[in-house]
Structure 1
């Protein structure tokens, strides 16, 4: 286990905001996982499982958290077949785009709708990441995870998932994904590549994929009620405050224009939530994970 004291969240998150945590613990072996609770007691604070930091909005100041990041070896690999489907396992720390490339060059379909989503495999599983009608959950054959006490493995049929939510079996509300095994189908490589290329450029034309952001700020209230459309109708597309801005490309993306701050981000979000509630009687629920 590698340890760094007082890491800066602004350097560890895609939106480039946040203060300092107590420490960052990088897990290099599964045995490291079993030492987490003892080390947390020594350091103080609470554990916070951090993937690639692409959906995190952290407050400023000294935060009472110990960051846990998974650096276990575990590149994507084909591990077998079941019921005519190919099983691919990947470690939690593997970047999601790397997993998609691995599948594409081998003609393994099912996850290609996730193209353009940044972050890690572990974060994608924990959030049940989705795009273009594709979600992680239905393609999971199993997940290996730490529940705060021990390492466990759950089959896909044991998982409970919904819109941007994944729950493991048991009582633990928080958990750390160690690896996931995906159940995929054989498809023509050219078809997968064409689909991914088309969807990526479509996403790039409508979303600020290269900006400092944490992805979609809010969950869609309903399948037919887009958070982005509600924010746009409420006048927040392009709305800026203190270096933070709701993107002119897509109103549900909160962007750090370079000199933003966490207080400005929270103030702008509060303004947006209040206006959407006033106009449409809808309470927006954050999709980003707020760390304070």
Structure 2
């Protein structure tokens, strides 16, 4: 089977936050041949389409969601191709798996991304970043798929990047299929040490093992969203099964049987409080599907 269709998939099983109702349908692309079938699926489903990776930055609404999801889920093992300091990987490789490859090959440049979950494709699609670096910093080119053009490579310089933002420059549905990175030569010991330092720092300050969707809000220019939330009294604030983390106020945790309604109400309260107290408008970093 090259394209597997799942009807009414549960968003709680498709996202790291573990909440949400059911989407209308999920198309799992099992191999390159499945892209032909995907073209017909996209044409049939129309506009309510979303490509997802491992769902590590998604807050899905409760109940029935009028969404058609597309996910790259190839059956072969995701492996890297290395040529000098260039590394080419399929989009469904997990970002921690890519960092393991970089350690073994002594390639530097992405150490600041340690501790970020999710797939390589999803990380590119939101330009994931932390500790002063992001995906854009190391991406050389991206292999994209669109219904009209099929598979094609596009240089990073010809794509639109921003803070937690990535765009192909058109409104057409796209899927990240492969990514090629350009790194700097180093040693296994040095890269391993820097990745360990980054992860240890995150583990000490962020709830990396909890059910979260990463940072809830973007950092407003000149501010730390976490500090604003902390100063507004939202660290550890709970509502039902959801709550802002005790470790870092910019993380919402599903503490057990949490719901999207609870998460959205907490976000609304936090946005209003920060605006009232500091005159700063917080904008979601997490992707809200409703």
Q: Same fold (TM over 0.5)?
A: yes
Deviations 1:84-143 (A, max 9, x none): xx1101111100000000111111111111100000000111111111212110211110
Report the count of equivalent residues: 286
Give the Å deviation of 1:147. 3.4
> 1:1-292 to 2 correspondence within 5 Å?
1-40=3-42, 42=44, 46-72=48-74, 73=76, 75-81=78-84, 86-150=85-149, 151-168=151-168, 170-172=169-171, 174-222=173-221, 224-292=222-290
Query: Which consecutive unaligned segments of at least 5 residues does structure 1 have?
Result: none
CA distance in 1, matches of 2:97, 2:272: 39
Give the Å deviation of 1:79. 4.3
Give the Å deviation of 1:74. 6.9
Query: Which consecutive unaligned segments of at least 5 residues does structure 2 have?
Result: none
Give the Å deviation of 1:254. 0.4
CA distance in 2, matches of 1:148, 1:46: 15
Instruction: Say if 1:219 and 1:286, in contact at 8 Å, map to a contact too.
Output: yes
CA distance in 1, matches of 2:286, 2:220: 14
TM-score by length of 1: 0.93
CA distance in 1, matches of 2:42, 2:138: 34
Give the Å deviation of 1:63. 0.6
Deviations 1:41-72 (A, max 9, x none): 54677211110010000001111111111023
1:98 counterpart SS class: helix
Aligned-pair RMSD on alpha carbons? 1.6
Instruction: Say if 2:87 and 2:180, in contact at 8 Å, map to a contact too.
Output: yes
CA distance in 1, matches of 2:44, 2:121: 26
CA distance in 1, matches of 2:204, 2:56: 20
Q: Would you identify which runs of 4 or more consecutive aligned residues in structure 1 move more than 4 Å? A: 40-45
Query: Structure 1 residues 269, 278: CA separation in 2 closer, same or farther (over 3 Å shift)?
Result: same
Deviations 1:178-218 (A, max 9, x none): 11000011101111111111111110010001111101000
CA distance in 2, matches of 1:78, 1:41: 33
CA distance in 1, matches of 2:235, 2:249: 4
CA distance in 1, matches of 2:38, 2:186: 41
2:261 counterpart SS class: helix
